[in-house]
């Protein structure tokens, strides 16, 4: 068992760290305050290969492994959680399923420009009345005589939705013995009947725009069906296995940013004529946070390494996502506490990390869903 990164992985990590420190971190607070879509950052991420990291170069990607992807996602999220999740969605929830389940035309015409950053993708599973229980979705698609589909319904909380060129939409296309069968459809933005709401007003990740998307008799040509007809739910769940590695990596970055700032502050801020870092209560908060952060990183990199080896990783991805997301909430909570009253203000950015961390326990499967996945695997 080798816990050391390869030279290539260290290079990717350092490249992402340098880019995030130089280009993203200086504007992260302003992006959060104004909720501005970071279009210039997205373009630079595309140019650097961060939007299709594990996609082969022949399809516009960087041809890297999932460990490198996790490392880069952590670095970008440390600077700005919004930028981290924009990257994660395009990589894990759009490009990855197209690579796994797409045909050659879809890979050339849709995956290649998306992995290279020329286009942007989104993932449409959640609906206004269908969240954790995705089987209860109401969006439907009816097959036409020419093989195309007519899509009706809506999807909400769609990260990248307002800016995406394509959305991977899951819809009911048949019922067998009363049970819904779903099909994955690649839906192009701007078609007749395609509409979207203004971007959501959220607690955190303000610059990562999400919205509700509406489909009213939207025609989806047969070339835009991903995978087998009726096989959409399998695609959705397999995609989330990988997506949870990205969210775990995002949670790592958020927590690391908060902990690094708290450690630096504890060395500078004095109380009772001595630095906060000399007090055992503060030291224990830092120690607990450091241990949890490292444990979460090991869980996340294990899941990424298993994916690289082609091994089933549903439980391991769920473990990483569950522990890393709840760790991020705990660590940012402690870090804010170390800052005291200053942490509650917007001056130091601690409240931004605290707000950003909370979403990682919710999207791409709540903590409760992760526990169900883990328990089912343990019980058998």
Q: Which of 81, 89, 90 is nearest to 24 (CA)?
A: 81
Q: Is 136 left (phi over 0), alpha (psi -120 to 50) or beta?
A: alpha
Which residues are identified as catalytic?
Answer: 364
Is the distance from CB of 84 to CB of 24 less than 8 angstroms?
no
CA dihedral 313, 288, 364, 6 (to 10 degrees): -50
DSSP-derived pairing of the beta strands 121-124 and 166-176? parallel
Token digits of residue 145: 């005589």
Token digits of residue 282: 């503060």
């Amino acid at each position: 068992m080798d816990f050391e990164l390869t030279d290539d992985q260290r290079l990717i990590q350092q490249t992402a760290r340098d880019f995030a420190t130089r280009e993203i971190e200086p504007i992260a607070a302003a992006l959060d305050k104004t909720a501005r879509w970071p279009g210039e950052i997205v373009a630079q991420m595309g140019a650097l290969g961060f939007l299709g990291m594990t996609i082969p170069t022949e399809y516009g990607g960087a041809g890297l492994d999932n460990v490198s992807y996790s490392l880069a996602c952590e670095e970008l999220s440390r600077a700005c959680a919004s930028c981290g999740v924009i990257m994660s969605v395009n990589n894990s929830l759009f490009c990855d399923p197209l690579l796994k389940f797409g045909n050659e035309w879809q890979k050339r015409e849709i995956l290649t420009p998306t992995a290279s950053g020329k286009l942007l993708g989104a993932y449409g599973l959640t609906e206004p009345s269908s969240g954790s229980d995705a089987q209860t979705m109401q969006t439907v698609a009816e097959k036409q005589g020419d093989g195309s589909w007519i899509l009706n319904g809506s999807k909400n909380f769609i990260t990248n939705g307002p800016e995406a060129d394509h959305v991977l939409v899951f819809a009911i296309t048949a019922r067998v013995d009363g049970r819904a069968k779903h099909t994955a459809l690649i839906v192009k933005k701007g078609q007749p009947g395609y509409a979207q709401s203004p971007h959501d007003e959220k607690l955190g990740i303000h610059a990562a725009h999400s919205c509700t998307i509406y489909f009213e008799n939207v025609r989806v040509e047969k070339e835009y069906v991903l995978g087998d007809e009726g096989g959409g739910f399998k695609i959705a769940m397999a995609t989330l296995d990988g997506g949870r590695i990205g969210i775990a990596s995002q949670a790592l970055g958020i927590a690391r940013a908060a902990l690094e700032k708290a450690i630096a502050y504890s060395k500078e801020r004095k109380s009772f004529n001595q630095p906060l870092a000399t007090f055992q209560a503060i030291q224990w908060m830092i120690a607990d946070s450091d241990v949890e952060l490292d444990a979460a990183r090991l869980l996340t990199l294990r899941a990424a390494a298993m994916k690289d080896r082609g091994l089933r990783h549903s439980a391991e991805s769920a473990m990483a996502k569950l522990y890393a997301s709840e760790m991020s909430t705990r660590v940012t909570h402690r870090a804010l506490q170390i800052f005291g009253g200053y942490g509650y203000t917007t001056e130091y950015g601690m409240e931004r990390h605290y707000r950003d961390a909370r979403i990682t326990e919710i999207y791409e499967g709540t903590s409760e869903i992760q526990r169900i996945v883990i328990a089912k695997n343990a019980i058998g």
